[in-house]
Amino acid sequence: MLIKNIVAIGGGGFGRSLGSLEIEKYIISLISKKRPKICFIPTASGDSSLYKLNFYRAFSNLDCITSHIDFFSRTENLEEKVLTQDIIYVGGGNTKSMLAVWKEWNLHNVLKNAYEKGIVMSGVSAGAICWFEKGITDSFANELKIIDCLGIVDGIACPHFDEEKEREPYVNDLIKREIIRSCICIEGNCALHIKNDFEYTSIDFGNGKKCFRVFKENNNLKKEIL
């Protein structure tokens, strides 16, 4: 039976420090084979060389077959590359710019196809919210905004929920004013594992970190732990 997986990380992981690689090990555990193939897409950081180096350090240490996709130097055949992977990992950075580049290269449709084929989709921050219908991003210099994302899974997502002080008030205000009905909020050092579109599991790789669904009920804001 085909199983579809998304692991959306609210903050943390190899991009900050290699550490114990707990969430990276969790992602790999979703593939039942030795030496899974994992491809890193660091578009949101402008294909940062340091970010790519940390990726190779992390997943080579975990005995994976590693590769990446560049968009700011010569770009390879995306369909051939993506559809031969076991795992895709999308890095953090500027979500709006990332999605614009992907659309120009048709990567958004390639990723949707890969997800339907059972390739694990994962990522942090920009790489977490990109899978949802919409995401709350700090891509803009002076304010948070909601932007359209890939729409692979339902809902609106917000990363860094406990790490950046403006996030929670912004989400609460949107819900109070009924601009959005609810938001999936992911704390730093926590990930939301979405299995087959609708099965949610919160993965704490920090210290009591959580994922919430924030919504309004009887005119009061509610936080439901996922």
CA 112 to centroid of chain Cα atoms: 14
pTM of the model: 0.96
Give the pLDDT score at 216: 93
Report the distance separating Cα 15 and Cα 141, nearest Å: 21
**pLDDT-based confidence at residue 28 (cuts at 50, 70, 90):** very high
Q: Is the pLDDT of residue 16 over 90?
A: no
**Domain limits of the chain?**
5-154+190-204
User: For the residues 54-71, what does the mean pLDDT come to?
Assistant: 97
Name the average pLDDT for the chain.
96
Residues with catalytic function = 125, 160
* DSSP string for 8-59: EESS-STTT--TT-HHHHHHHHTS-SSS-EEEEE-GGGTS-HHHHHHHHHHH
User: 158 Cβ partners below 8 Å, 6+ apart?
Assistant: 129, 135, 136, 167, 171, 183, 184, 185, 186
Fold of 5-154+190-204: Rossmann fold (3.40.50)
What average pLDDT does range 45-71 have in this prediction? Answer: 97
What pLDDT score does 136 carry? 97
**What pLDDT, on a 0 to 100 scale, did the predictor assign at position 19?**
84
Q: Would you state the pLDDT for residue 17?
A: 79
How much is the pLDDT for 142?
87
Please provide residue 96's backbone torsions phi and psi, each rounded to the nearest 5 degrees.
-60, -45
Mind listing the pLDDT tens digit for each residue in 125-169? Answer: 999 999 999 999 999 988 999 999 999 999 999 999 999 999 999
User: Residue 114: phi, psi to the nearest 5?
Assistant: -60, -40
Q: Is the pLDDT reported for residue 223 higher than 90?
A: yes
Closest Cα partner for 99 from 145, 148, 132?
148
Of 197, 7, 163, 212, nearest to 89 by C-alpha is 7
SS3 110: helix
